[in-house]
A and B are shown apart, each in its own frame.
Chain A
Amino acid sequence: MSDVSDNAELPNQPVPDTGKRDLEYYARILEEARSIKGTSLWQDAWKQLKRNRAAMVSLVFLILLAVLAFFTPLLPLQSPIYQDIEQRQLSAPSFSAIPLYPESIFENDEQLPKLSNESEIASRKQEILVTTLWNNPGTVSQWLIKLRLSVFGTWSIPSLCGTDNLGRDVLSRVFWGARVSIIVGIVATFVSLLIGVSYGAISGFMGGKVDNIMMRIVDVIYSVPFIFVVIFMITIVKEDQISAVLEKWGIDQIKVFFIMIGMIYWLTMARVVRGQVISLKNEQFVEAARTIGASPTRIIFKHLIPNVMGIVIVYLTLTIPAVMRFEAFLSFLGLGVEAPDVSWGLLVNEGIQVITPIKTYGWLVLYPGLTLALTLFALSFLGDGLRDALDPKMKNK
């Protein structure tokens, strides 16, 4: 904050009478103004957030989760897809170490016996491992997996969380599922952000009839039970012929799925942004921009949107858990992520499928469910903290 007594002295200075001294005088004021450092909204918010212990713990947890999810291929986990039904079906959590793969994995390969050069054999073996133990990894993941193979070799963490009905390691699947669940959360939220903010901003800025019509459309969409329409759309996209067409365009199912979820969650965002824009657009700085001749597009995207960012971020942190929950919900119903991809919702569903009155396999539901719940818990705590920090008026709501 500025020191008030400094400024108070200024009028007592001898009044400058020539143009040169005038300049000097203003230069000095400018100098002084530069030396004063205000706290921006963001610094202030960060300070507030740091004081909120629950939010900070959640933030650390979420960052840790994101880092672990990103480096999952590098971690010495077991294969998320390798099946061993005979020996390891539904085995309970244990600490006994298990090699990453049995030697028999190389037996059926046709190329391997033909190779004589040792380095060729090694690279072929690695190739076999990458393609059979992991589900179609991307370039970065492949690189990380190779690094993991050379660092940890065949050693892997024991099945601390048990195995599922196909003998796959649950711990590893929870980690790989985290990647899908987190990416869905981020991408779908980004889609909803894009639609919601532009829609709301345009509607609020145009005002009048356009605003009226655009908001009526939102009202109507609001009262549609959207989940049902989504279920229809997903069944359509999953249809073989349609997915073949989409594949040609380079859009796979999971991308369609992201976009679809994003397309549902923009309504609230649009309303909030519209309200904010309406109150902002009569402010002087917008009028000034208009006087200079800035185009409406420029005013919306350069002047209005940066000013609604605070409230948008608050809604963002509330949308991410909602989206993740929705993904889990759909995957649980068998409409979302499909095997061999994994996500937390899918894992819980697989766990439920094998429950019988004779025996329950609690670990199958417990661990993925617990991770999902913890993540959502952390996200909502962080969201509350951010809201208190960025928008004091909404505190405790």
Chain B
Amino acid sequence: MFAFLLRRLGWAILTVWIVYTVTFFLMRSVPGGPFDGERQLPEEVERNLLEKYNLNDPVHIQYFNGIRDIVANPIGEKFGPSIRLADYNVDEVIAQGFPVSASLGIFAMVFALLLGMTSGVISAIKRNSALDVGFMAAATLGISVPSFVLASVAVIVFVFWIPIFPAAGWGELSQILLPALCLGAPFAGYIARLTRTGMLEVLGQDYIRTAYAKGLATRRVVVRHALRGAILPVVSYLGPAVAGILTGSLIVERIFYLPGMGSHFIEAALQRDYPLAMGMVLVYTCLLYVMNTLVDISYGVIDPRVKVE
């Protein structure tokens, strides 16, 4: 287990370094800097600005300085000041946006898991019934409708036509609910299909018949015996799902005007706010890596046959 984590850490560092390098040179290969606006700045001012953001050094020095800052500085001062949000440090922007994005993502994930697994199990038990067909059609619809279409329609219907949700804002449960539902819907659909397939496979096996023969109630057989085996494909899907939720949050945060990381990131990339964009990309990379590792570990916990290596 320890060796596994150590190796994972090694790969994580390598990945982060590659992402850093690629992002760095991608950003620097764009002609012009972040200060080439419509307004020509006086030379003096521009020089001072470049100095403030350490952009007047040669590129390779900037590259190594960036790495040094990230490795050596404590959390909170890793990325330096943001260019677009001039009064803030990049770390502060991330610290403000992260809780919003994280709670949105967690809500969406929980919703996707609850809805997806419940409907998947019901579909499998009542195979080929109207309920099954209905659930699976809804799941396919959920997978194929892009989240921004869903979110836009949801805004029109549930905010303007039938005003039961607030349009924007952050902090209350009613404000987080609608965006989380929109973000989670495609994943709920996918999880429902995976659960159904897994359940169908498991329900045909001998040990399930044994459990029934012992006289156990259907409910207990399904929850205790079948679900545990059926859930494995869902667990291995969680890795890609986390990546998808990260991507989807860009859209949902934009539509619902949520003050998360996603909206900052797009602006940062578009306006060439080098430090902010770099900070965002690295945070997202680490997040993805941590989640994937957690998924791999939990795989071993659920199925003792799988050795974590």
Q: Which residues of A contact B (CB under 8 A)?
A: 219-220, 223-225, 227-229, 231-233, 235-236, 239, 241-242, 321, 325, 328-329, 332-334, 345, 348-349, 351-352, 355, 357, 360, 362, 365-366, 369, 372-373, 376-377, 379-381, 384, 396-397
Contacts and interface: CB of A to CB of B under 8 A. Distances in A.
30 contacts: A223-B15, A223-B288, A224-B22, A224-B285, A227-B246, A229-B19, A229-B22, A229-B23, A229-B281, A231-B266, A232-B23, A232-B26, A232-B269, A235-B30, A236-B30, A239-B32, A328-B148, A333-B251, A334-B270, A348-B152, A352-B152, A352-B155, A352-B255, A355-B156, A357-B167, A360-B160, A369-B153, A376-B145, A380-B144, A381-B140
B200 interface: yes
Nearest to A366: B153
A38 B197 CA distance: 33
B242 to A, nearest CB: 10
Among A328, A376, A384, residue most surrounded by chain B Cβ atoms (within 10 Å): A376
B152 A369 contact: yes
B31 A241 contact: yes
Given A365-B153, A396-B200, 14 more contacts: A223-B288, A225-B243, A231-B266, A232-B23, A235-B270, A241-B32, A329-B251, A333-B251, A348-B149, A352-B152, A355-B156, A373-B146, A373-B149, A377-B141
Contacts of B19: 224-225, 229
Interface residues of B, number: 51
Interface string B190-201: 000000110010
Among B255, B281, B289, residue most surrounded by chain A Cβ atoms (within 10 Å): B281
B149 A377 contact: no
A377 B140 contact: yes
A396 B146 contact: no
Contacts of B285: 223-225
B18 A333 contact: no
Contact of A329 (B22, B32, B141, B146): B146
Interface string B112-138: 000000000000000000000000000
A380 B22 CA distance: 34
Query: Which 4 A-B residue pairings sit nearest by Cβ, starting from the closest?
Result: A376-B144, A369-B149, A377-B144, A373-B145
Among A227, A321, A372, A377, residue most surrounded by chain B Cβ atoms (within 10 Å): A227
Interface string B225-256: 00000000000000000010011001100110
Given A348-B152, A372-B146, A396-B197, A228 B15 contact: no
Contact of A239 (B15, B30, B140, B149): B30
A313 B58 CA distance: 49
Nearest to B194: A397
Contacts of A397: 197
A333 B250 contact: yes
A333 B160 CA distance: 23
B146 A360 contact: no
Interface string B4-42: 000000010011001100110011011110000000000
A232 B277 contact: yes
